[in-house]
Chains A and B, each alone.
Chain A
Amino acid sequence: MIASLRADGLKMRKRWANWIMVAILLAWLVLLVYALLYLVVKTQPASLRGSQVPASVLIRQIFPENFIPTVLSTAASIGAAIMIIFGALSTASEYGWSTVQTILIQKPGRTAVLGGKGLALFVATVLISIAALAVSALSAYVVVTVDGSSSSWPAATEIVKGFGALILQLAVWAAFGAFLGIAFRSTAAAIGGGLVYLFVGEALLGSLFRTAPVIKDVLKLLPGINASGVNGAFRLTYTNPSNQVPLVDPTHGVITLLVYLVAFTVLSLLIFRRRDVGGG
């Protein structure tokens, strides 16, 4: 397991696509969350006239006091998409390049090969989470300094919990992507399927049917809805009535996400261990 963790770490580190995705995530956070909101609030207060929250309050979203919920909401959208692609690339590419056969005739057995890959993905998820938190905190610090306002940092326990929530949901999406990559053995199918699920299955249906009687109960089982439930535990320091109340509570969310993490891992292993390689 450690041998294949080290091998996968080397592959991951040397792959440009991975760094590009991390860069996209962090750039998104800096430019499309912090910088954009700051510019909008500062230059276009008129466009916020319809909002129930005045610009002077809304800007607190990008102050240090809210850097945890801000990074979590980014994780739930673009973060999820990036992690699905990341996970899918890490498994599906092995089929695309047929390298799966080369690594399976090295020393470790199939469980160790995939286990090592899973660990490598998890380590990467932790590092990406740290980077996202750090970039978010730094951006918030810059914003509040430039703005000349005052804010405070969340309590250390809150930061640690937020870190955990971030890792958990990003890990679930990475595992989902990796599972799709193994199931489809095709990068395009895995990424396409994963993103369609995320944006149509979760986001679109989730907003259309969040009040429909039966469908609502089904929605409560979906990973994205549960991630939002977990994120609901991290409140903004002001109330924005236009923010939706999550369908599930944080505990329900954490448990469901853990179940998904285990399920994707076990399913991936079951397929990977049994399936013929190069046998169609």
Chain B
Amino acid sequence: MGMAQSYAVETHGLSKRYATGVLAVNNLDLRVRTGEVYGFLGPNGAGKTTTLRMLSGLLRPTSGTATVAGGAPGSPASLAQLGAMVETPAFYPYLSGRDNLRVMARYSSVQKSRIEPVLQQVDMTDRARHKFKTYSTGMKQRLGVASALLKDPQLLILDEPTSGLDPQGTVEMRELIKDLRQGGRTVLLSSHLLNEVELTCDRVGVIARGSLVAEGTVDELRARSGGQALLVRASPIDQARRMLESLLKPDQVQLRDGLFTLAVGPSQAAAINRRLVADGVDVTELRVAEQSLEDVFLQLTEKQP
């Protein structure tokens, strides 16, 4: 552990081949920076859960290594700083939500006094005395998050926390996730839903067929595959080009048929427009490229030969 540990999760060549022969995770190099909300995005069956199980010490990698919250996966040092909810939240059906948290608090040697605050944080105080088996999917997920928060961990791993939730529950869960990063906590969140990571994550890793196929901010991902871009028509063209190339990296600027294609996200549109106008360039058209992030995602994850 260094003084300033820059990665909360770091894997090298992480692979998992199940006994059935399925190569679920293939040579994965993942780096989750400390303090960020990282979206682990991939279609069903891509290997997200398998990866998160390895990071939590539940599965042994077939090969490769990982450091999670400063320790080897599953080691006491790592577990002490890790809160996780992998796949469906699993608790004792005959115990109340509160008693389930008591059990987990005992395992983790966490003070009993932590229980009420985490229940409150996930808005489960009212239902905490009811048995787990009576909970709806949304309540189970929230209890799962509460349990992951008991240790007040530096790293939180949430595997598809909105899966199975109704729209209302999904919105609430996303709001909750935004709060979870408070205090510099790192959140590693998996999802098969693009707009979910777009709404909640700083950076995204896209996994397909067990391999990481792209990584970066949502804007970068759009730009990299040419999917997300700003289209700008401006005159005089030469002056606009000089301006844009000094403003962005040269390879982010393309000119075709008098139309600039800028490999940046829509968040930069206003700033770019302002600079051009301030420089005396007339901006006659400014819009976001048609191809949606959904298309990019499909393009990244679709089956390749």
Q: Which residues of A line the B interface, CB within 8 A?
A: 3-4, 6-7, 10-11, 14-16, 97-110, 113, 276-280
Contact = CB atoms under 8 A, between A and B. Distances in A.
Interface string B16-55: 0011100000000000000000000000000001100100
A97 B92 contact: yes
Contacts of B60: 276
A11 B84 contact: no
Say what secondary structure dominates the interface of chain B: loop
B103 interface: yes
A14 to B, nearest CB: 6
A107 B76 CA distance: 6
Given A109-B76, A280-B20, A11 B86 contact: no
A3 B58 contact: no
Contacts of B106: 3-4, 6-7, 10
B58 A105 contact: yes
Nearest to B102: A10
Interface string B91-113: 11111000100111011110000
B288 interface: no
A99 B93 CA distance: 10
B84 A105 contact: yes
B255 interface: no
Contacts, number: 101
Contacts of A278: 49, 53, 58-59, 86-87
Contacts of A100: 90
B17 to A, nearest CB: 10
A99 B86 CA distance: 11
A101 B58 contact: yes
A14 B58 contact: no
B104 A106 contact: yes
B53 A7 contact: no
Nearest to B89: A102
11 contacts: A7-B104, A11-B103, A97-B92, A102-B89, A102-B90, A102-B91, A104-B56, A105-B56, A106-B79, A277-B59, A279-B53
A104 B104 contact: no
A280 B87 contact: no
Task: With a 10 A CB-CB cut-off, give which of B53, B79, B106 has the most chain A CB atoms.
Answer: B106
Contacts of B19: 279-280
Contacts of B109: 3, 107
Contacts of A4: 106-107
B89 to A, nearest CB: 8
Contacts of A3: 106-109
B80 interface: yes
